Homo-oligomer: A and B are copies of this chain.
C-alpha cells in the first residue's frame, strides 16, 4: 500500500526512461520513497544504462506486464504516445493504482485519458514538472533537476483527492514548487512562455542556416546568439510532438506573434522610430518583471 506521509510507493512503473523520469526516480531512491521500480521502454541500451545507474530495478518492453500489481505508473513518454500506452496498460491496472504523467501538454493528454480510462479517470493525476536540459536521456538525469522549479498539477474534477496528495508529496521530495492550475490555462501559459520560444529559436537558427555565407553567420551568431539559442539544442522529435499536441493553443499564439513582428517591420519602414522605442521600452520593463520572479 502507498503511504502519503512520508511518501512510500511499494511498486512504481516508469514508462519512458529519460531525463525527467530518471531524475525523479533518483530522488525517490535517495529518499527511500520507493520500493520496486520497473522501467519500460523500447531501447535496450537505454534501459540497461538506467539499470546500471540504479534508477530502475528491472526493465521490460511490455508495459502491460509491467503494471500488474503496480501502485503507481508514471508515464514519461512523448505526449503523442500517451493514448496507446494507456490502452495497453488499462486491462492490467489495479483499481487503486495511481496513474500520473510528466507531459508538457495537458489538454490532449486529458482527452486521451478520458477516452481510454472511462470511469477509471479518477485514478489519473496529470502533472507537468517544468525542468529540462539541452541534454536529454537518462544519462543526463540528476537528483537536483527540479530544485526550485515549478511542478504544475492539473487535477481533474474526478481525480481522487488522496491520489493527488500522493503525487504532490512525491514531487515535494524533489524540492520543486507545486502549483495547481486549470488544464486550459496551463496549455495557454506554457504555449506562450515555453512552446512559442522554442518555435522562435528553432526558426531563427533555421533562418540563419539558410543564409548565403552561412559560416560567417554562424561565426557572428556565436557571440550574442549563443545564450539565446541554447534551447535549439533540445530534442527535435520531442518538441515537434509538443507543438503538434498543443496545436489549438499554439497556432494562434505563433500567428499573433509573427503578426507583431510584421508590424514592427512596417513601423521601421514607415520611419516610426518613436513607436519602436516605446515598444522596446515596454519590453525592457516587462523583462524586469520576469527577472523579479527569479528572486
Question: Which residue numbers of A lie inside 8 Å of B, CB to CB?
Answer: 130-132, 149-150, 185, 189-190, 192-194, 196-197, 199-209, 211, 213, 215-234, 236-237, 239-241, 243-244, 247, 250-251, 254-262, 264-265, 268-269, 271, 273, 276-277, 279-294
Contacts and interface: CB of A to CB of B under 8 A. Distances in A.
A237 B282 CA distance: 12
A175 to B, nearest CB: 15
B202 A279 contact: yes
B227 A227 contact: yes
Given A228-B231, A277-B237, A204 B209 contact: no
B197 A204 contact: yes
A207 B211 CA distance: 27
Q: Copies per complex?
A: 2
Nearest to A266: B251
Given A207-B192, A261-B261, A290-B229, A276 B130 contact: no
Nearest to A294: B222
A228 B227 contact: yes
A71 B234 CA distance: 52
A242 B221 CA distance: 17
Given A149-B223, A268-B247, A218 B290 contact: yes
23 contacts: A130-B220, A130-B223, A130-B224, A185-B216, A193-B217, A193-B223, A194-B220, A196-B204, A196-B207, A197-B204, A203-B260, A206-B282, A209-B285, A221-B293, A228-B230, A229-B287, A233-B284, A233-B288, A240-B280, A243-B273, A244-B273, A255-B265, A261-B261
Contacts of A250: 265, 268
* In the complex, the 4 A-B pairs of residues with the closest C-beta atoms, listed nearest first: A236-B280, A222-B293, A209-B286, A205-B283
Given A229-B290, A287-B229, A244 B261 contact: no
Contacts of A292: 218
A208 B193 contact: yes
A260 B185 CA distance: 27
A289 B218 contact: yes
